[in-house]
């Protein structure tokens, strides 16, 4: 499992005593024949970007693997919040007020309280989800104070055509000044850089499973 070894090496050099980042195996779109051997080899944390696809794929798998951890890393519509909270352990894409409100409302009505990440649009790309960096502090405060939601981490997807380092550094700064402990950053092409900038989890798809 080359990607996992590289993650281990990147996070574990003599000058980087930080704990190992979590490998989130991004299984979206992949056929089960590619996922099953990774699961059998001991990988337990998987990322999916669509609620329905994840339900189809993972329903029932928990019976065999009770320590499975599923993370939603794609956009979440408010009408799918209850289904998402029922299925996923972690929602990494909280990025707007009405979504936060829908999550708080679902929890008040009995949905499980899940680990939450705020997605930050570090590149301020119009087509990309995530709160703008300049609005992140106020958004985080609103989630905490008004919606009573605990924020475990921040997540970002840097622009494809830019060096990712400054985006990871920006995400780390926003997390630090808001007292947020975790950083979900780094994909197949840049996870080693992300680990150097303090990623506590990396989301790796194609480098692990092959091209989609
Ligand atoms: C698909 C996806 C990934 C994985 O991308 P790879 O380049 O295949 O590693 C990571 N994060 C998010 C949000 C994704 O949608």
Q: Is 204 in the pocket of ligand 1 (CB under 6 A)?
A: yes
Residue 4 binned pLDDT confidence (cut-offs 50, 70, 90): low
Token couple for 207: 């480098």
User: Per residue in 131-173, pLDDT tens?
Assistant: 999 999 999 999 999 999 999 999 999 999 999 999 999 999 9
Q: Is 73 in the pocket of ligand 1 (CB under 6 A)?
A: yes
Token couple for 50: 């669509």
By the 8 A CB rule, do 21 and 4 touch? no
Q: Is 206 in the pocket of ligand 1 (CB under 6 A)?
A: yes
Q: E strands, 27-152, where? A: 45-48, 69-72, 90-94, 115-119
Instruction: Return d(Cα 84, Cα 76) in angstroms, integer.
Output: 8
Mean pLDDT computed over 94-102: 98
Whose CA is closest to 85, among 65, 62, 63, 102?
102
Q: Is 203 in the pocket of ligand 1 (CB under 6 A)?
A: yes
- Residue 7: the pLDDT is 52
- Residue 192: the pLDDT is 97
Can you state the angle between helices 97-108 and 133-145, rounded to 10 degrees? 20
Q: Is the pTM of this model over 0.85?
A: yes
Residues 6+ away with beta carbon under 8 Å from 83: 51, 52, 55
């Amino acid at each position: 499992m080359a990607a996992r070894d590289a993650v281990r090496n990147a996070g574990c050099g003599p000058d980087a005593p930080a704990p190992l980042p979590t490998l989130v195996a991004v299984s979206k779109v992949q056929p089960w024949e590619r996922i099953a051997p990774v699961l059998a080899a001991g990988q337990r944390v998987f990322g999916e970007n669509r609620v329905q696809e994840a339900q189809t794929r993972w329903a029932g798998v928990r019976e065999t693997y009770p320590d499975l951890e599923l993370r939603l890393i794609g956009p979440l519509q408010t009408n799918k919040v209850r289904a998402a909270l029922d299925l996923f352990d972690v929602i990494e894409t909280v990025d707007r007020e009405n979504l936060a409100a829908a999550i708080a409302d679902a929890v008040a009505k009995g949905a499980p309280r899940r680990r939450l990440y705020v997605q930050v649009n570090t590149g301020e790309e119009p087509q990309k989800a995530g709160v703008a960096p300049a609005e992140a502090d106020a958004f985080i405060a609103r989630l905490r104070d008004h919606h009573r939601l605990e924020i475990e981490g921040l997540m970002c997807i840097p622009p494809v055509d830019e060096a990712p380092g400054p985006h990871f550094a920006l995400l780390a700064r926003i997390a630090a000044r808001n007292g947020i402990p975790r950083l979900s950053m780094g994909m197949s092409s840049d996870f080693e850089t992300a680990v150097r900038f303090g990623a506590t989890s990396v989301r790796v798809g194609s480098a692990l499973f092959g091209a989609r």
